[in-house]
């Protein structure tokens, strides 16, 4: 195996683990499609990074950070429901992004390109995924209780707002990372599919979150292998590999 | 209830809760003493759950709500239902509240869920490691009571603990709460729909329909006139003479 392949696999596996783990909580919180919408919001950030010549991750994360904080604040200040807000941010960002993304990079931005990762990407990924796992285990208890019942959590002096804020920031972080793998159109799948598959065959939350991470990693390995085998882009094939795992777990689902 | 042993736990005065200038609770005053079992009754939309949320500080209010200091309060919200496919076992749920496994087991015993004769392996496998969403209505209520009393609270707020449970199961949940009330002087505030149960178990009853309509010992304040006032004359419910 060449050096570049090992680099690609490492980055994709780590992102798969992070996306699966975080995605497991997003699915429980009924936020599955938030990841999908947010990945579109990143487009103008990536475009500006490409135009000004810095790492697209930072552009994407900056755009996601502002959008997330904006939605979080607007939701608290106005009566607009968050799905409407996400919908507005999402379509406006996509429109702006499509206009300013340089033509040659458009395809890579839309579908991702793991084959172009470098050591800086690896470093960013290692730090981010470690941070995500560490922070989620820190807020894990409050996150589960507030998912079960907001009132219950508040009555136990759990600061639900703080937990939700940390969670949203982590969601933007994993989406920013995932863009390298699956692009603005498919990144949502990285957080939804492994978690949905794990949910089919888990009774306990510990098994569920671990399996979601494992399935995320397996999708990355399977997808990259398929991409090399058939000379197809890795992003879509990673998503498809996740889909195969999902179908497989469906067979073992207990009703 | 002897007058001498009364220790105030909660004092509510002129409580008003309004959402968008629409008063949900109006000028409500009552007091709770240690060891009381207070049943809160009223028609749908009377503001019973809002009252709980207000005294817990979960919704904005005006007026005075004063808890005795240093109390541990446990709350089980209304319609606390875990979806069938939510991956969370009974053990994991209880461990969110207490890391002490021995404490969890003994608490499950005290709510009648882990009888000694039962095979421990069977209990572990079919109950503790079972998904919350797969429990029967009665089992779920018992687990919720166990959750609520795990950290030995002084006060328990229970919002409609009997929704969706058959009568037999209902009786035992109240027996259980009454037992805990006797044994550990647990103060219980409970929202209930079943007046029979209220007569049988509550030491006082608070009837509300936005405003306070009655407060006192159930057999004294819950007379036919009060019920007509509370439920609008449609109820055919009268107290049982025992």
Taking CB atoms and an 8 Å cutoff, what residues of chain A touch B51? none
Q: What is the mean pLDDT of residues B179-202?
A: 84
**What's the CATH number where A200 sits?**
1.10.3470.10
Give me the count of residues in chain B: 242
* Pairs of CB atoms within 8 A across A/B: 50
pLDDT at B74 over 80: yes
| pLDDT for res B242 | 47
Q: How confident is the model at residue A172 (pLDDT cuts 50, 70, 90)?
A: very high
Q: Model-level pTM?
A: 0.86
pLDDT at A197 over 90: yes
Q: What is the mean pLDDT of residues A226-247?
A: 95
- Please give the Cα distance from B68 to A149 (Å, whole number): 26
| pLDDT tens per residue across span B92-116 | 999 999 999 889 988 888 887 876 6
- By C-alpha distance, the chain A residue nearest B76 is A152
Q: Do A205 and B130 touch (CB under 8 A)?
A: no
Nearest-Cα distance to chain B for A204, in Å, is 5
| pLDDT for res B3 | 47
| pLDDT tens per residue across span A117-161 | 999 999 999 999 999 999 999 999 999 999 998 888 988 989 988
Tell me the three-class secondary structure of A4-16, residue by residue: HHHHHHHHHHHHH
Among candidate residues B54, B53, B59, the one with its CA nearest the CA of residue B77: B53
8 A C-beta contact, residue A23 and residue A187: no
User: Which of A156-160, B56-60, B238-242 has the least mean pLDDT?
Assistant: B238-242
Give the architecture-level CATH label for domain B1-71+154-242.
3-Layer(aba) Sandwich (3.40)
Q: What is the mean pLDDT of residues B26-55?
A: 90
Looking at every residue in chain A, the average pLDDT score rounds to 91
User: Which of A151-165, B13-27, B162-176 has the least mean pLDDT?
Assistant: B162-176
| pLDDT for res B1 | 45
List Cβ neighbours of A152 (8 Å cut-off, separation of 6 or more).
Answer: A145, A146, B75, B76, B77, B80
Taking CB atoms and an 8 Å cutoff, what residues of chain B touch A206? 92
Tell me which DSSP letter residue B111 carries: T
Q: How confident is the model at residue B170 (pLDDT cuts 50, 70, 90)?
A: low
Question: Where in the sequence of chain B do the CATH 3.40.50.300 domains occur?
Answer: 1-71+154-242
Q: What is the mean pLDDT of residues A111-121?
A: 89
Q: How confident is the model at residue A38 (pLDDT cuts 50, 70, 90)?
A: confident
Long-range contacts, stretch A64-72, CB < 8 angstroms, 24+ apart: A64/A38, A64/A172, A64/A173, A64/A175, A64/A176, A65/A169, A65/A172, A67/A38, A67/A41, A67/A93, A67/A172, A68/A38, A68/A168, A68/A169, A68/A171, A68/A172, A72/A164, A72/A165, A72/A168
Q: Which domain holds residue A164?
A: 3-252
| pLDDT for res A112 | 87
| pLDDT for res B182 | 85
Q: Do A154 and B58 touch (CB under 8 A)?
A: yes
pLDDT at B225 over 80: no
The total of structural domains in chain A comes to 1
Which range scores top for mean pLDDT: A231-235, B77-81, B177-181?
Answer: A231-235
Residues B225-235: b if buried by 16+ CB within 10 A, e if exposed: ebbeebbeeee
Q: Do A204 and B85 touch (CB under 8 A)?
A: no
| pLDDT tens per residue across span B207-224 | 998 888 888 888 888 777
Pairing between β-strand B211-216 and β-strand B204-209 as defined by DSSP bridges? antiparallel
Give the nearest partner residue to A206 out of B56, B92, B130, using CB atoms: B92
| CB atoms inside a 10 Å sphere around CB B8 | 12
| pLDDT for res A196 | 96
Q: How confident is the model at residue B162 (pLDDT cuts 50, 70, 90)?
A: low
8 A C-beta contact, residue A224 and residue A114: yes
Among candidate residues A197, A235, A244, A241, the one with its CA nearest the CA of residue A39: A235
Q: Do B87 and A199 touch (CB under 8 A)?
A: yes
Q: Between A140 and A86, whose confidence is greater?
A: A140
Looking at every residue in chain B, the average pLDDT score rounds to 82
| pLDDT for res A244 | 97
pLDDT at A229 over 90: yes
List Cβ neighbours of A173 (8 Å cut-off, separation of 6 or more).
Answer: A61, A64, A128, A131, A132
| pLDDT for res B85 | 85
Q: How confident is the model at residue B169 (pLDDT cuts 50, 70, 90)?
A: low
What ipTM does the predicted assembly reach? 0.86
Q: How confident is the model at residue B65 (pLDDT cuts 50, 70, 90)?
A: very high
pLDDT at B239 over 70: no
Taking CB atoms and an 8 Å cutoff, what residues of chain B touch A198? 87
Give the nearest partner residue to B58 out of A144, A155, A199, using CB atoms: A155
Q: Do A154 and B89 touch (CB under 8 A)?
A: no
Q: Do B77 and A152 touch (CB under 8 A)?
A: yes
pLDDT at B153 over 70: yes
Q: What is the mean pLDDT of residues A7-12?
A: 95
- By C-alpha distance, the chain A residue nearest B56 is A155
Taking CB atoms and an 8 Å cutoff, what residues of chain A touch B129? 203-204
Interface of B with A in 191-230 (CB under 8 A): none
Q: Do B131 and A208 touch (CB under 8 A)?
A: no
| pLDDT for res B117 | 61
Instruction: Give, in order, the Cα–Cα distances in Å from A95 to each of A41, A66, A144, B157.
Output: 10, 17, 36, 51
Interface of B with A in 50-109 (CB under 8 A): 53, 56, 58, 73, 75-77, 80, 82, 85-89, 91-92, 96
**Mutation site for B-interface testing, chosen from A163, A194, A197, A203 by largest number of B Cβ within 10 Å:** A203
Q: Between A129 and B145, whose confidence is greater?
A: A129
| pLDDT for res A61 | 94
Q: Between B142 and A14, whose confidence is greater?
A: A14
Q: Do A151 and B76 touch (CB under 8 A)?
A: no
């Amino acid at each position: 195996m060449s050096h570049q392949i090992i680099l690609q696999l490492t980055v994709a596996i780590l992102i798969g683990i992070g996306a699966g783990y975080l995605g497991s909580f997003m699915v429980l919180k009924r936020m599955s499609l938030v990841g999908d919408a947010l990945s579109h919001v990143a487009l103008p950030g990536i475009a500006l990074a490409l135009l000004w010549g810095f790492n697209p991750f930072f552009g994407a994360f900056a755009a996601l950070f502002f959008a997330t904080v904006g939605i979080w604040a607007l939701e608290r200040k106005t009566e607009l429901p968050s799905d409407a807000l996400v919908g507005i941010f999402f379509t406006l960002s996509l429109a702006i992004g499509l206009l300013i993304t340089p033509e040659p990079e458009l395809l890579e931005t839309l579908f991702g390109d793991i084959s172009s990762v470098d050591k800086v990407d690896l470093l960013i990924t290692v730090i981010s995924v470690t941070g995500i796992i560490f922070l989620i285990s820190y807020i894990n208890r409050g996150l589960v209780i507030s998912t079960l019942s907001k009132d219950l959590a508040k009555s136990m002096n759990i600061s639900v707002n703080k937990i939700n804020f940390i969670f949203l920031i982590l969601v933007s972080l994993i989406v920013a990372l995932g863009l390298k793998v699956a692009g603005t159109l498919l990144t949502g799948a990285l957080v939804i599919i492994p978690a949905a598959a794990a949910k089919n065959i888990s009774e306990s939350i510990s098994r569920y979150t671990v399996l979601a991470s494992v399935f995320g990693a397996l999708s990355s390995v399977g997808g990259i292998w398929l991409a090399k085998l058939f000379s197809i882009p890795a992003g879509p094939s990673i998503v498809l590999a996740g889909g195969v795992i999902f179908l497989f777990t469906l067979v073992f689902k207990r009703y | 209830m002897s007058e001498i042993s009364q220790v105030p736990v909660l004092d509510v005065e002129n409580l008003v809760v309004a959402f968008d200038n629409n008063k949900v609770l109006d000028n409500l005053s009552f007091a709770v003493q240690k060891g009381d079992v207070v049943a809160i009754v009223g028609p749908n939309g009377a503001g019973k759950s809002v009252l709980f949320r207000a005294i817990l500080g979960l919704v904005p209010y005006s007026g005075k709500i004063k808890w005795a200091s240093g109390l541990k309060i446990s709350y089980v919200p209304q319609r606390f239902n875990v979806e069938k496919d939510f991956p969370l076992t009974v053990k994991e749920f209880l461990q969110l509240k207490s890391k002490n496994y021995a404490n969890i087991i003994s608490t499950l015993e005290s709510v009648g869920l882990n009888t000694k004769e039962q095979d421990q392996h069977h209990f572990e496998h079919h109950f503790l490691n079972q998904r919350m969403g797969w429990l029967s209505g009665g089992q779920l209520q018992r687990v919720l009571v166990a959750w609520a009393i795990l950290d030995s609270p002084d006060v328990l707020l229970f919002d409609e603990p009997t929704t969706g449970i058959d009568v037999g199961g209902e009786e035992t949940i109240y027996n259980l709460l009454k037992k805990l009330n006797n044994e550990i002087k647990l103060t219980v505030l409970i929202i209930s729909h079943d007046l029979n149960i209220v007569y049988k178990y509550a030491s006082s009853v608070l009837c509300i329909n936005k405003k306070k309509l009655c407060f006192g010992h159930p057999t004294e304040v819950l007379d036919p006139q009060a019920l007509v006032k509370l439920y609008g004359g449609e109820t055919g419910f009268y107290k049982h003479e025992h």
